[in-house]
Amino acid sequence: MHQASLTFRVLLATAIAFSSTLALAQSSTEGSPPAAAEPPCHGKPLITYTLGTQTEIDRLYPVINTASQSAYDRSMAVASSIQFYLQNSLNRDQITDVCNLRVTPQGATGYQVSFYSSNQHARAYGATQSAWLRRGALGLKGVRACQNSKDAACWEPKGANLTCSGPWQFYLPLGLPMLSQKMVMLLHYPPYSALQQSDYLNNATLNRWQRLLTTVGVSPADWTLYTTTVDIFPIAAPGSGESGCFPTASALRYFGAPGSAYIPTMLDALVSQSSSGTPNQTTRPIIVFGSEAIGYWNAAYPKSPTAVLKAGRANLSPATPQKMTAFMGANHPIAAVYQSCTSTPGITTMAAQDLATACFARALGDQPDADPVAVAAACQVSYTNPKPESDQAVQLCTTATIDKSPQFAQWSVLQAQNWCAQHNNQVCPLPDYQAKP
């Protein structure tokens, strides 16, 4: 996509969101709780809190800056962005009874959040969101250090075999669960398309992860609880061809413990936070996706190394040595679609590993006390050379067949299942996707 077209789309989306928030602001007094909603939210209690100071919050949310933009216009644009992503987080945390959500600027004191909800976890959201943003600010600190450094390998580096084209932009994994998550994903960096569409989950990587989770039995209503993410680089960049532009050494230097400490601080908090707002000693599991994230993990936690389907428990914080976190390494969620029947590893092997990863996520998400090594081994056995008539063989064939179908004419689950039934659940040779059904 050309840069001019891309910029226009982002500006248009921001203008629409800004106009919506401006209309809300004009109908209420700035800084006051919302008037009684119409209808009056069925007697739900009012929840209100203030997020940080304006200077702390403004740079953590994506908005368009222009030379003629006034301070008021910018504060309204930030408020719109906060409100949009907060609504997504609440929904994906399964706090779905929220009524009359509004975010309004409070000048230098920050942004007031107000909504009505009778959900028992909703009252914890102010403290949860504020703490999450404080940790997110460490990511911004790392980005600024990267941009201002003389390290030519950090921000959009140039060199042999590198195509680190822009635009690059600081982007936190906004709009995801912060309270009720069942696991945490450690990934490389977010694709720029997620920033364009203002939705961290609306991209090929997370779409395939959703498909893997629901294939192994996770309810479609619950799959977002398995998407809470920490990127070793909180930088949105084009979604392919840029892996070499984000080396592990830079992640350690700018976002690891020696630098801003964004990654370890965010990881430890997200696995430890309970939906009641108090930390648990039994933490949520972490799945480390892709070679770059695995490289970071192995450098940051050398006593607990991982690899694809290698599981264990690790201590993420020396301050709490008794607290251990289950972990497992995995392929990058989208990597399998680039494999084939003749590649090494092949599509069947990769799809089996990825289904075993989703199996592990479901099992440890439901039972965090389970032995991660035993669970990983059992999941791997289930999808390695399953009997042709087994459920696992159907899932494996269906997954691989959809993986290799055309990107813009992807096969449905039913279509893949029908083909697999006709071919004894043998993936290879792959279907002739061009043939008429």
Going by C-alpha positions, the residue among 319, 322, 317, 347 that lies closest to residue 335 is: 347
Check whether residue 280 and residue 135 sit in a common domain: yes
As a whole number of angstroms, the distance between CA 135 and CA 129 comes to 10
For position 256, which CATH number holds?
Answer: 3.40.470
Its domain, for residue 143, covers 128-154+170-384
Would you say residue 306 lies in a domain?
yes
Going by C-alpha positions, the residue among 19, 123, 105 that lies closest to residue 57 is: 105
* Type of residue found at 39: P
Would you say residue 423 lies in a domain?
yes
- Residue finishing a domain among 384, 400, 420: 384
Task: Output the 3-class SS for the chain.
Answer: CCHHHHHHHHHHHHHHHHHHHHHHHHCCCCCCCCCCCCCCHHHCCEEEEEECCHHHHHHHCCCCCCCCCCHHHHHHHHHHHHHHHHHHHHHHCCCCCCEEEEEEEECECCEEEEEECCCCCHHHHHHHHHHHHHHHHHHHHHHHHHHHCCCCCCCCCCCCCCCCCCCCEECCCCCCCCCCCCCEEEECCCEHHHHHCCCCCCCHHHHHHHHHHHHCCCCCCCHHHHCCEEECCCEEECCCCCHHHCCHHHHHHHHCCCCCCHHHHHHHHHHHECCCCCECCCCCCEEEEHHHHHHHHHHHCCCCCCCECCEEEECCCCCCCCCCEEEEEECCCCHHHHCCCCCCCCHHHHHHHHHHHHHHHHHHHHCCCCCHHHHHHHHHHHHCCCCCCCHHHHHHHHHHHHHCCCCCCCCCHHHHHHHHHHCCCCCCCCCCCCCCC
Contact partners, residue 281, CB within 8 Å, separation at least 6? 322, 323
Q: What is the pLDDT of residue 277?
A: 46
Q: Give the Cβ contact number of residue 412 at 10 Å.
A: 11
As a whole number of angstroms, the distance between CA 207 and CA 334 comes to 9
Would you say residue 159 lies in a domain?
no
Check whether residue 202 and residue 304 sit in a common domain: yes
Check whether residue 181 and residue 264 sit in a common domain: yes
Check whether residue 134 and residue 108 sit in a common domain: no
Give me the sign of the Cα torsion angle 419, 424, 425, 431: negative
Q: What is the pLDDT of residue 241?
A: 66
Check whether residue 108 and residue 176 sit in a common domain: no
Would you say residue 163 lies in a domain?
no
Would you say residue 161 lies in a domain?
no
Check whether residue 292 and residue 401 sit in a common domain: no
Check whether residue 288 and residue 141 sit in a common domain: yes
Tens place of pLDDT per residue across the chain (437 aa): 333 333 334 333 444 343 333 333 333 333 445 554 455 688 899 999 999 887 789 999 998 777 778 888 999 999 999 999 999 999 999 999 999 999 999 988 899 999 999 998 999 999 999 999 999 999 999 999 999 887 777 888 877 677 787 789 999 999 999 999 999 999 999 999 899 999 999 999 999 999 999 999 999 999 999 999 999 999 999 876 677 889 999 999 999 999 999 999 999 999 996 554 445 567 999 999 999 999 999 999 999 999 999 999 999 988 888 899 999 999 999 999 999 999 999 999 999 999 999 999 999 999 999 999 999 999 999 999 999 999 999 999 999 999 999 988 999 999 999 999 999 999 999 999 987 65
Check whether residue 93 and residue 221 sit in a common domain: no
Going by C-alpha positions, the residue among 73, 90, 171 that lies closest to residue 124 is: 90
Would you say residue 437 lies in a domain?
yes
Q: For the packed helices 204-215 and 391-403, what is the interaxial angle rounded to 10 degrees?
A: 160
Check whether residue 421 and residue 359 sit in a common domain: no
Domain count, the chain: 3
Would you say residue 165 lies in a domain?
no
Count of alpha carbons within 13 angstroms of residue 183, beta-carbon side: 32
Check whether residue 144 and residue 39 sit in a common domain: no
As a whole number of angstroms, the distance between CA 210 and CA 194 comes to 15
Residue 51's DSSP bridge partners are 111
Predicted TM-score (pTM) of this structure: 0.89
Q: What is the pLDDT of residue 165?
A: 75
Residue with tokens 């635009």: 167
Would you say residue 132 lies in a domain?
yes
Check whether residue 359 and residue 427 sit in a common domain: no
- Residue finishing a domain among 341, 358, 384: 384
Check whether residue 134 and residue 273 sit in a common domain: yes
